């Protein structure tokens, strides 16, 4: 699959080895966007410059500057413009000790990826599909993907540009993670941060890698889940839950990350942190109760919301004439990235890569705008849509949009209460943060749907609806039901169109459970039970020793035993978390030996019995 291949290519530290940089003109173009208003001291520039300087210091031999690395222009934004930006938390206003050099972070806003890609297609839907992911992920394979579409000589140079905007910096105390309780920031040094937000800004998702896992969900959901647990069982099977592409995407990104080698039980390092926007003022409540301020204001972006610089060559009048598109740039949903000053170039690369990957995994789709209106019917041909002559093509635009979430907004938009820890363990989990990992990522989607291409308003009889930045119920319905159209109704041509949302992904409601480490007491009980019952009767173990512990399923117990056995067999130095008394571990090993021996004998017995039967 295309995406996979790309990710693989890029997995080595976001290397785009063969990507020619964009021509200066191209880079500058974006940088000039609104840049003229800011003519004072460019603190943001300075910040980034210092970052670049440090980065270069770290790798003197490298001839690559961060500038080249990002292939983009640094856009200075006056401080007040982003005074309300989500990158900055309230903590910085509260005079928290965030001014330490170590905690200063650079927040980069990546607002667009540029590329040149010529498409030559006919049906609107095909066009969408081809554009799909290519502009997002590097360009080393873009040519391959577009080759069949590229007009000979149509493109002289391949480009891939990240336009980077320096948003905020040290000057006011650095940027703090939103979720740091008590203003403590020590554990967050040298971390990258990435926040992702839905286009409707209802949610912020905040992904970190640490030893904690928190997911915020309305209590009603928790209740539901609980009530659906059977006496010994686990929750509702995932497959029965609502699906959330975005979450899944982010999780996937982490799976990749984890595979880089965090060792045994690496899931322990995963944290998924979800924040809920509380008001239009941008208050965000973290699951630990912390507040941070975010802004909903996107005024700066609104003005320059042109999606795709777009040029089109005509097709003609005959039936099979081709329509050629050259997409100069596709604006991606904003990416906000924070990295510490001391970040290496490599980590910066990886951070951006993670952001882009997460963006893709979340499910991105392409929207087509024609004369400022969203073209909703994917099955119409271009000519049917009125896109067959030069003038009209000039009014065509593409948008990158987050994949629509299904059915979960109503579930979570009610009950804007401040989440309370479900038990005391949560706090201790949090405070026991292990800063083991050096990279925290998240990204935010913002206003992905607000991009409109300009054009004169020509009336069109085709199925165009006013373009709104909301994902209406109608659209959801239509897109969902479209997936249900019987094959026979689609026709052979349509069959070639791969639905973008073919594989349903994980949902909001099916968030990973919060981690609840076993106490020594619990371990004791578990060991005792296993000693008596053996390792193959987890239901009985649950019944015997964890009857009232509703949050411990027999699977949990089995898993815990697994880790106990592992823990017992490694050196004490390698153990983590609350230490388990050696005495218990010894019993674990003993019981493990005993019961596995037992199992062997059983099997042997069976085999022997079978053998004798045969004989």
**Taking CB under 7 A as the rule, does residue 536 contact DNA?**
yes
- Token pair listed for 553: 């399923």
**Taking CB under 7 A as the rule, does residue 232 contact DNA?**
yes
How far apart, in whole angstroms, are the C-alpha atoms of residue 223 and residue 310? 50
Q: List all residues 6 or more positions away from 376 whose beta carbon is below 8 Å from its beta carbon.
A: 463, 464, 465, 475, 478
How far apart, in whole angstroms, are the C-alpha atoms of residue 422 and residue 419? 8
DSSP for 228-283, please give it: H--SS--SS-GGGSPP-HHHHHHHHHHHHHHHTT--TTGGGGEEEEEEEE-STT-E
- Token pair listed for 191: 């971390």
**Taking CB under 7 A as the rule, does residue 515 contact DNA?**
yes
Helix (H, G, I), strand (E, B) or coil at 51: helix
Count residues near DNA (CB under 7 A).
Answer: 32
Question: What's the closest the beta carbon of residue 220 comes to DNA, in angstroms?
Answer: 18
Question: What's the closest the beta carbon of residue 213 comes to DNA, in angstroms?
Answer: 7
Question: By C-beta, is 462 or 563 nearer to DNA?
Answer: 563
Among 15, 79, 475, 559, binds DNA (CB under 7 A): 559
Binding span for DNA by CB under 7 A among 156-164, 165-173, 340-348, 553-561: 553-561
**Taking CB under 7 A as the rule, does residue 255 contact DNA?**
yes
Binding span for DNA by CB under 7 A among 179-187, 302-310, 415-423, 558-566: 558-566
Question: What's the closest the beta carbon of residue 364 comes to DNA, in angstroms?
Answer: 21
Question: What's the closest the beta carbon of residue 442 comes to DNA, in angstroms?
Answer: 19
Helix (H, G, I), strand (E, B) or coil at 592: helix
**Taking CB under 7 A as the rule, does residue 306 contact DNA?**
no
Judge whether 576 and 600 are in contact, CB under 8 Å: no
Question: What's the closest the beta carbon of residue 599 comes to DNA, in angstroms?
Answer: 8
- Token pair listed for 370: 């024609």
Q: List all residues 6 or more positions away from 287 whose beta carbon is below 8 Å from its beta carbon.
A: 179, 214, 215, 216, 273, 274, 275, 419
Question: By C-beta, is 112 or 271 nearer to DNA?
Answer: 271
Among 252, 556, 585, 587, binds DNA (CB under 7 A): 556
Question: By C-beta, is 66 or 526 nearer to DNA?
Answer: 526
The binding track of 338-377 with respect to DNA, each residue x by CB under 7 A or -, is ----------------------------------------
SS (H, E, C) 246-261: HHHHHHHHHHHHHHCC
Question: By C-beta, is 186 or 228 nearer to DNA?
Answer: 228
Percentage helix, strand, coil for the chain under 3-state DSSP, each rounded to 5: 40, 15, 45
**Taking CB under 7 A as the rule, does residue 540 contact DNA?**
yes
Neighbours of 545 (CB within 10 A): 21
Binding span for DNA by CB under 7 A among 234-242, 277-285, 433-441, 569-577: 234-242
**Taking CB under 7 A as the rule, does residue 273 contact DNA?**
no
**Taking CB under 7 A as the rule, does residue 233 contact DNA?**
yes
How far apart, in whole angstroms, are the C-alpha atoms of residue 224 and residue 126? 41
Judge whether 508 and 411 are in contact, CB under 8 Å: yes
Question: By C-beta, is 139 or 565 nearer to DNA?
Answer: 565
Question: By C-beta, is 36 or 263 nearer to DNA?
Answer: 263
Look-up: residue for tokens 């062997």? 600
Among 25, 152, 230, 492, binds DNA (CB under 7 A): 230
Binding span for DNA by CB under 7 A among 10-18, 185-193, 554-562, 585-593: 554-562
Judge whether 402 and 198 are in contact, CB under 8 Å: yes
Question: What's the closest the beta carbon of residue 244 comes to DNA, in angstroms?
Answer: 11
**Taking CB under 7 A as the rule, does residue 254 contact DNA?**
no
**Taking CB under 7 A as the rule, does residue 240 contact DNA?**
no
Instruction: Identify which of 557, 558, 580 has the alpha carbon closest to the alpha carbon of residue 570.
Output: 580
**Taking CB under 7 A as the rule, does residue 554 contact DNA?**
yes
**Taking CB under 7 A as the rule, does residue 562 contact DNA?**
yes
Look-up: residue for tokens 């330490």? 100
Question: By C-beta, is 143 or 513 nearer to DNA?
Answer: 513
Task: Give kind and range of the element (H or E) at residue 312.
Answer: strand 310-313
Question: By C-beta, is 421 or 536 nearer to DNA?
Answer: 536
SS (H, E, C) 349-385: HHHHHHHHHHHHHCCEEEEEEECCEEECCCCCEHHHH
Among 5, 186, 231, 302, binds DNA (CB under 7 A): 231
* Dihedral sign for Cα atoms in the order 79, 82, 87, 88: positive
Among 328, 551, 575, 594, binds DNA (CB under 7 A): 551
**Taking CB under 7 A as the rule, does residue 513 contact DNA?**
yes
Query: In the range 195-224, which residues lie near DNA by CB under 7 A?
Result: 213
Judge whether 74 and 67 are in contact, CB under 8 Å: yes
Binding span for DNA by CB under 7 A among 55-63, 77-85, 466-474, 531-539: 531-539
Query: In the range 483-512, which residues lie near DNA by CB under 7 A?
Result: 506, 510, 512
**Taking CB under 7 A as the rule, does residue 227 contact DNA?**
no
The residues of the shown chain that bind DNA, judged by CB under 7 A, are 213, 230-234, 238-239, 255, 265, 267, 506, 510, 512-513, 515-516, 535-540, 551, 554-556, 558-560, 562-563
């Amino acid at each position: 699959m295309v995406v996979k291949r790309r990710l693989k290519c890029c997995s080595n530290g976001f290397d785009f080895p063969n990507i020619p940089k964009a021509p200066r003109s191209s880079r500058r173009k974006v940088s000039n966007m609104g840049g003229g208003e800011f003519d004072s001291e460019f603190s943001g520039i300075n910040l980034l410059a210092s970052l670049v300087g440090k980065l270069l210091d770290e790798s003197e031999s490298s001839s690559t500057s961060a500038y080249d690395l990002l292939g983009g222009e640094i856009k200075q934004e006056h401080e007040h413009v982003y005074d309300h930006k989500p990158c900055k938390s309230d903590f910085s206003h509260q005079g928290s000790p965030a001014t330490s050099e170590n905690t200063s972070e650079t927040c980069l806003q990546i607002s667009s990826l540029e590329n040149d890609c010529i498409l030559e297609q006919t049906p609107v839907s095909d066009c969408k599909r081809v554009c799909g992911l290519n502009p997002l992920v590097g360009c080393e394979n873009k040519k391959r993907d577009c080759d069949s579409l590229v007009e000979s000589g149509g493109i002289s140079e391949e480009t891939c540009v990240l336009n980077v905007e320096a948003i905020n910096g040290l000057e006011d105390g650095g940027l703090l993670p939103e979720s740091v309780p008590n203003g403590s920031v020590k554990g967050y040094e040298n971390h990258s941060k990435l926040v992702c937000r839905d286009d409707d800004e209802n949610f912020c998702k905040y992904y970190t890698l640490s030893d904690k896992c928190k997911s915020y969900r309305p209590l009603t959901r928790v209740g539901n889940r609980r009530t659906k647990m059977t006496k010994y069982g686990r929750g509702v099977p995932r497959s029965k839950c609502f699906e959330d592409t975005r979450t899944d995407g982010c999780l996937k990104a982490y799976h990749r990350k984890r595979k880089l080698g965090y060792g045994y039980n690496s899931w322990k390092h995963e944290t998924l942190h979800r924040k809920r926007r509380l008001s239009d003022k941008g208050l965000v409540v973290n699951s630990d109760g912390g507040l941070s301020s975010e802004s909903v204001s996107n005024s700066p972006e609104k003005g320059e919301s042109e999606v795709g610089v777009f040029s089109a060559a005509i097709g003609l009048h005959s039936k099979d004439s081709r329509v050629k598109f050259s997409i100069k740039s596709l604006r991606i949903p904003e990416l906000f990235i924070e990295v510490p000053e001391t970040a290496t170039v490599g980590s910066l690369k990886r951070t951006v890569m993670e952001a882009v990957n997460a963006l893709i995994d979340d499910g991105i789709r392409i929207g087509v705008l024609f004369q400022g209106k969203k073209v909703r019917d994917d099955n119409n041909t271009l000519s049917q849509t009125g896109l067959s002559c030069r003038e009209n093509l000039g009014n065509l635009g593409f948008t990158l949009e987050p994949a629509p979430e299904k059915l979960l907004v109503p579930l979570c938009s009610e009950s804007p209460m401040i989440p309370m820890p479900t038990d005391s363990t949560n706090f201790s989990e949090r405070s026991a943060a292990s800063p083991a990992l050096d990279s925290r990522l998240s990204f935010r989607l913002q206003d992905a749907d607000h991009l409109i291409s300009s054009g004169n308003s020509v009336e069109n009889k085709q199925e165009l609806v006013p373009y709104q930045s909301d994902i209406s119920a109608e659209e959801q319905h239509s897109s969902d039901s479209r997936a249900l159209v019987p094959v026979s109704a689609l026709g052979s041509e349509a069959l070639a169109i791969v639905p973008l949302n073919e594989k349903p992904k994980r949902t909001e409601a099916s968030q990973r459970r919060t981690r609840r480490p076993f106490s020594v007491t619990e371990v004791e009980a578990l060991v005792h039970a296993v000693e008596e019952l053996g390792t193959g009767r987890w239901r009985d173990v649950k019944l015997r020793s964890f009857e009232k512990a509703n949050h411990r399923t027999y699977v949990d117990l089995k898993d815990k035993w697994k880790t106990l056995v592992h823990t017992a067999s490694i050196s004490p130095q390698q153990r983590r978390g609350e230490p388990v008394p050696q005495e218990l571990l010894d019993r674990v090993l003993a019981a493990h030996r005993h019961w596995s021996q037992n199992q062997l004998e059983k099997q042997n017995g069976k085999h022997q019995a079978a053998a004798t039967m045969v004989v």
